[in-house]
Amino acid sequence: MLLEELVKVLNRVRETSSREKKVAIMADFLRNLDDNDLKNVVKLISGIGRINVSWGTIARAVGLSQGEDIGEMVRRSLLEKRKQHSLVEEAVTVEELIDLLSYLESLKGKGSSEKRVALIRSFFRRLSPEEAGFVARCITGEMRAGLSKGLLIEAIGRAFGRGDISKAHTVIGDLSELALMAKKGKLQVSPKLFSPISPMLAESCYSVKEALEEMGIAAFEYKLDGVRVQVHKEGDRIKMFSRRLSDITDRFRVELDLKCESCITEGEIIGLGLDGRPVPFQILMRKADIRREILFFDLVYLNGKTLLDTPYQERRKMLEEISDKLVPRIVTDDQKRAEEFLKEAMEMGHEGLMAKKLNSPYQAGVRGRYWLKIKPGLEKLDLVIVGADWGYGRRSRWLSDYYLAAYDEERGTFEVVGKTFKGLTDEEFEKMTGKLLSLAVKEDGKTVWVKPEVVVEVAYDEIQRSPKYRSGFALRFARITAIREDKSPGDADTISKIKRIYESQFSRKSAKW
């Protein structure tokens, strides 16, 4: 299939504002593709396996300087050059683009950057300006096809008459694989080895007492400050996936001792200091030589049997039979005992506790109250950077004052709840500047507004009402405590959660003044 065919269809999608028309255009297109083209097209549109080659690499390949959307810049730049001369080249196929992305990803070590620049420059010579803009976005992982993930899933379902496509997506995270299964009429809603499952998520609560009042008797587990991973094993083959469903097998080397022929388990990778205590998340992510350990907390598939509907307590017993590396836990309805366990977890350097309902199923992709996370004090928030100001003085060469946003469920947008320039090192400011420039959508004076992509963990002293921000709230003394590379914008906290925390503050304050 020619790349120009895909680009033309995506341009049609981008040019219509109607949700219904977007889905219809894409469904008609997908319906007529063969198996190989279907997988490749969905892979490109959804960004599966994106390699995130930097903006700077693309810029060097085509001779650009910093600016707005990389795809549009490349398109315009090549359009200008093509006015001066025409090239006769064989048209590029979608499969060739997939091969290029795969090869760029494989380049490692000394000289790899120059090789990438040369490959991209050579490939772009064969592209039309429109195609080049699309390819630039594919390479950098900044796809702007006018088609959200939700619309793409809906289009796949409509193309092949599968109304249960959204449910299936929670257990088949790879959209290209899901599309092929839907086409063949073999859509499944049970886990498949080496196809990552959307993780089950927890709601917040603010005390052991609240958890016990809701659950009666519960399992309490240490809440670790690490990288959540999903481990798939079959025989000697093992792969690890992040909560964003990315393959991170080669990124984190940990000892895995799973006594099973095949399984899908969930765990947390933590870093350990010289004293054996857990290190902060940032250290875990930054230091390649840190000692790491994985502790498992759930099991969703074992030796050919799906366990999604198996009660949590039974899943845990099965997990205990295949691994000794488990997150510490107790089962109790005694508030005092659970509070002592919470104190123990905190003293050992962990974040708090997870409370889990004993008879709960594993709800892939769902955030609910079968699981509750308990963190003492004001809970840190996972927020998205939606803009940044250029700094002053020593920080003048960096985007270093960040607009932090939470998701407004009513408006369907990310709304600013505060700003901060605190928490990052000079090295992190440098890397963050490059990342945000690659996500830029517009500039307004010293402010660069960006696509909501980067998630950061934020601590603060208090939440206040604010007439300044449309969200109605502002964080007092906000500071970034971690860059959450393992989380996507969909994992960000919401305005409704901030409102709940705001209201809960008063129960811990004096009523007299």
DSSP letter at 199 equals P
Q: Report DSSP letters for 165-189, one per residue.
A: HHHHHHH---HHHHHHHHHTT----
Tokens of 269: 């990778």
Please check if 367 is assigned to a binding site.
yes
Nearest one of 419, 429, 439 to 489, comparing CA atoms: 439
Catalytic residue among 39, 223, 487, 497: 223
Please check if 95 is assigned to a binding site.
no
Contact by Cβ (8 Å): 418, 349: no
Please check if 477 is assigned to a binding site.
no
The helix/strand/coil state of 431 is helix
- List residues bridging with 406 in a β-sheet: 415
Please check if 43 is assigned to a binding site.
no
Looking up tokens 């502002």 gives: 474
Pairing of β 367-374 and β 201-205: parallel
Tokens of 136: 């630039």
Spatial distance between the Cα atoms of 173 and 264, rounded to a whole number of angstroms = 14
Tokens of 217: 């008797």
487 flagged as catalytic: no
Please check if 213 is assigned to a binding site.
no
Write down the H helix ranges in 47-204.
Answer: 55-62, 70-82, 94-106, 112-124, 129-140, 149-159, 165-171, 175-183
- List residues bridging with 408 in a β-sheet: 413
Please check if 20 is assigned to a binding site.
no
Please check if 373 is assigned to a binding site.
yes
Binding residues for ATP: 221, 228, 243, 268, 297, 367, 373
Active-site residue list: 223
